[in-house]
A and B are shown apart, each in its own frame.
Chain A
Amino acid sequence: MSTLAIIAGMALTTYACRALPLLLMTDPARLPLWVRRWLEYLPPALLAAMVAQQVAAPGEGTAVLRWIPAGLCLVVAALTRKLVPALLAGLAGRAVVLLLVGL
Chain B
Amino acid sequence: MTRGVLDALPFALVIGVLGVVFAAGAGPLGIGPGEAVLMSVVVFSGSAQFAALAMWTQGGLPVLLATALLNTRFVLLASTMAARLPRLPLWQRALMGAGVSDEAFGLFVARGPGATVAYLGGAMVTLYLPWQVGTLVGVAPGTAIPPVWQEWLSSVFPLMFVVLTVLSANTGRKALVAVAAAGLTVVGSRFLPGAWSMLGAGVAGGALGLLLDSGGEAA
| B158/A9 in contact, CB under 8 A | no
CA distance A49 to B213 in the complex (A): 21
Instruction: Mark the stretch among B72-80, B129-137, B138-146 that contacts chain A.
Output: B72-80
Chain B interface category by residue count: 35 or more
Most buried by A among B60, B74, B75, B166: B166
Q: Is the CB of A83 within 8 A of B67?
A: no
Which residues of A lie under 8 Å from residue B67 when comparing CB positions? 9-10, 13-14
Q: Do B177 and A44 have beta carbons less than 8 Å apart? A: yes
Contact in complex: B166, A22 (CB < 8 Å): no
In the complex the two chains form, is B197's CB within 8 Å of A53's CB?
yes
CB of A88, distance to nearest CB on chain B (Å): 9
Contacts known (A14-B67, A47-B109, A48-B181); A69 close to B159, Cβ less than 8 A: yes
Min CB–CB distance B107 → chain A (angstroms): 10
Residue B63 at the chain A interface, CB threshold 8 Å: yes
User: Which residues 189-207 of B sit at the A interface, judged by CB distance below 8 A?
Assistant: 189, 194, 197-199, 201-207
Q: Out of A11, A44, A53, A56, which one reaches B174, CB within 8 Å?
A: A44
Does B118 belong to the interface (CB within 8 Å)? no
Residues of B within 8 A of A78 (CB): 166
The smallest beta-carbon distance between B128 and chain A, in angstroms, is 12
Q: Which residue of B lies closest to A27 (CB)?
A: B87
CB of B10 closer than 8 Å to a CB of A: yes
Q: A51 at interface (Cβ–Cβ under 8 A)?
A: yes
B194 in contact with A53 (CB, 8 Å): yes
Minimum C-beta distance from A94 to chain B (A):
6
- Please give the distance in Å from A98's CB to the nearest CB on chain B: 10
- B81: Cβ under 8 A from any A Cβ: yes
Is there a chain A Cβ closer than 8 Å to B126's Cβ?
A: no
Using CB atoms, name the residue of chain B closest to A18. B100
Q: Is the CB of A70 within 8 A of B208?
A: no
Q: Tell me the minimal C-beta distance from B203 to chain A in angstroms.
A: 8
- Given A49-B201, A73-B159, the answer on whether A44 and B181 have CB atoms closer than 8 Å is yes
Given contacts A19-B98, A34-B210, A56-B186, contact A49 B42 (CB under 8 A): no
Closest chain A residue, CB of each to CB of B45: A14
- A-B contact sample (11 more), CB < 8 A, given A21-B79, A52-B201: A8-B42, A10-B39, A10-B45, A11-B43, A14-B74, A26-B90, A41-B177, A42-B206, A46-B181, A49-B185, A77-B163
